[in-house]
Amino acid sequence: MTDNSSTLGESLRRQGVTRRGFLKFCTATASMLALPAGMAPAVAAALEKARRPSVIWLSFQECTGCTESLTRSHAPTVENLLFDYISLDYHHTLQAASGAAAEAAREKAMHDNAGKYLLVVDGSIPLGHPGYSTIAGISNLQMLQETAAGAAAVIAVGTCAAFGGLPKAAPNPTGAVSVSDIITDKPIINVSGCPPIPSVITGVLAHYLTFDTLPELDQYGRPMAFFGTSIHDRCYRRPFYDKGLFAETFDDEGARKGWCLYKLGCKGPMAYNACATMKWNQGTSWPVESGHGCLGCSEPSFWDAGGFYKALSIPTGDISRTVGIAGAAGLAIGAAAVGLNRAAKSRAKQQHGTVTVDDLEKTS
């Protein structure tokens, strides 16, 4: 068990971090939280007084991709954020203890921090048979229920925990369900994605550290700051979509010129995630920038959404006709799309008036 009594400010000063270093940390944190850039001093004032929360992390039916994503995060000194500024009291992939000692650590953390600890869950929960997935002989369902009982809030990390994900894909052989299908009496934050963007996972933890509250959530329980805008609305290929210029294959002229990937099955228009701005691999790139459409991995049932390479929104399956019309009437449709985009943006703005890029975009 770690010492949870000192504030983040005290802990940083003890480590010899200067105000400049602290301000830099807060600037990076504000950026990660998608707060207006000028809010770094407010973040600094809040983080100065933040105390380390105890975190219990449970992994159920999952592939460990979410933990992999997180531990490769480049978010502001995330190693510190995770291992110094939160007290990660149980994570059976990362912790050294195993077996009875690990379970004892979980029970101790639950007891010592009753009502105050954060519960992070990755993976879905099989209801088909308790034996499908167990930890130390305890079924996933039982472990979730008993650990959630004393939690302040639950963070469902990854599409499996948030919506059932791959294990729930038809025919759902294990009867997989999401955390919110089981836990109904606690605040739940869904951080979806397969895996989620690492900075989004740490961003939610940082939000809790900074403000001691949960972030504003969308209809699927996802933080608005990261999931408030569609991939399509932030996609740099959008001007091509608006002009009706589409890649038809992965190696044609359109693909080489970086045209829109809609016809190749891009799910950007229905996917809400932060990939287009936060990007992946230390901000190197993101799927659409590397030439592949978005799979919509942050959305419920994305595995069963009709095929990764099938174009969206054509219930009849007649892709060429719809896109052909878009191409022919490119300008008009483009203008309409921009109009829709504006409406969506102003909606997003009303819902969370803190996102700076919307303020910037309104000048466009």
Partner 1 sequence: MNVLDDINIPVDPSGALSGETGNALILLQEIAHAMRHLLETGESRTLDLLAIPFGPTDEDRLLSELGQGEVSATLNALGESRVWESRYSGVWVVEHRNLDGQRVAFQIEITRMPEILCAHSADIESGLKRLNETLITGRQGFTSENPQEEP
Residues making contact with ligand SF4 (CB under 6 A): 193, 231-232, 235, 237-238, 241, 260-262, 266, 268-269, 271, 273, 275, 286-288, 293-298
**Separation between Cα atoms, residue 175 and residue 153, nearest integer Å:** 25
The nearer residue to partner 1, 186 or 342, going by C-beta atoms, is: 342
- 296 contacts 267 by C-beta, under 8 angstroms: yes
Q: Which of 20, 100, 115, 315 binds partner 1 (CB under 8 A)?
A: 20
- 57 contacts 147 by C-beta, under 8 angstroms: no
Q: Which of residues 209-238 bind partner 1 (CB under 8 A)?
A: 234-238
Q: Which of residues 65-94 bind partner 1 (CB under 8 A)?
A: 74-77
According to DSSP, residue 269 is labeled G
Q: Does 105 bind partner 1 (CB under 8 A)?
A: no
Task: Pick one of partner 1, ligand SF4, none as the site partner of residue 277 (Cβ within 5 to 8 A by kind).
Answer: partner 1
CB of 191 to ligand SF4, least distance (A): 12
CB of 327 to ligand SF4, least distance (A): 13
Q: What are phi and psi of 72, to 5 degrees?
A: -105, 15
Q: Does 37 bind partner 1 (CB under 8 A)?
A: yes
The nearer residue to partner 1, 23 or 127, going by C-beta atoms, is: 23
**Separation between Cα atoms, residue 145 and residue 147, nearest integer Å:** 6
Task: Pick one of partner 1, ligand SF4, none as the site partner of residue 293 (Cβ within 5 to 8 A by kind).
Answer: ligand SF4
Q: Which of 181, 218, 248, 361 binds partner 1 (CB under 8 A)?
A: 361
Two structure tokens written together for 61: 């039916």
Task: Pick one of ligand SF4, partner 1, none as the site partner of residue 297 (Cβ within 5 to 8 A by kind).
Answer: ligand SF4
Q: What are phi and psi of 241, to 5 degrees?
A: -60, -45
- Scan for tokens 């979980």, then name that residue: 106
- Radius of gyration of the chain measured on its C-alpha atoms: 22
Q: Is 22 exposed, middle or buried (0-12, 13-18, 19+ CB in 10 A)?
A: middle
Q: Which of 175, 258, 269, 306 binds partner 1 (CB under 8 A)?
A: 258
Q: Which of 43, 144, 188, 276 binds partner 1 (CB under 8 A)?
A: 276
Q: Does 64 bind partner 1 (CB under 8 A)?
A: no
The nearer residue to partner 1, 24 or 186, going by C-beta atoms, is: 24
Q: Does 24 bind partner 1 (CB under 8 A)?
A: yes
Task: Pick one of ligand SF4, partner 1, none as the site partner of residue 65 (Cβ within 5 to 8 A by kind).
Answer: none
Task: Pick one of ligand SF4, partner 1, none as the site partner of residue 268 (Cβ within 5 to 8 A by kind).
Answer: ligand SF4
> What are the distances in angstroms from CA 239 to CA 181, 249, 266, 270?
40, 19, 15, 17
Q: Which residue, 320, 196, 307, 200, is CA-closest to 249?
A: 320
Beta-sheet pairing, 87-91 with 54-59:
parallel
**Separation between Cα atoms, residue 62 and residue 131, nearest integer Å:** 15
Using CA of residue 154, residue 155, residue 160, residue 163, what is the dihedral sign? positive
Q: Does 289 bind partner 1 (CB under 8 A)?
A: yes
Q: Does 313 bind partner 1 (CB under 8 A)?
A: no
The nearer residue to partner 1, 188 or 276, going by C-beta atoms, is: 276
**Separation between Cα atoms, residue 342 and residue 363, nearest integer Å:** 11
| Beta-carbon contacts of residue 180 (< 8 Å; ≥ 6 apart) | 156, 162, 188, 190, 221
User: Which residues is 27 bridged to in the sheet?
Assistant: none
Two structure tokens written together for 171: 């025919």
CB of 90 to ligand SF4, least distance (A): 28
The nearer residue to partner 1, 313 or 364, going by C-beta atoms, is: 364
The binding site for partner 1 (CB under 8 A) comprises: 17-21, 23-25, 27-28, 30-32, 34, 36-38, 40-41, 74-77, 234-239, 256-258, 276-278, 282-283, 285, 289, 355-357, 360-361, 363-364
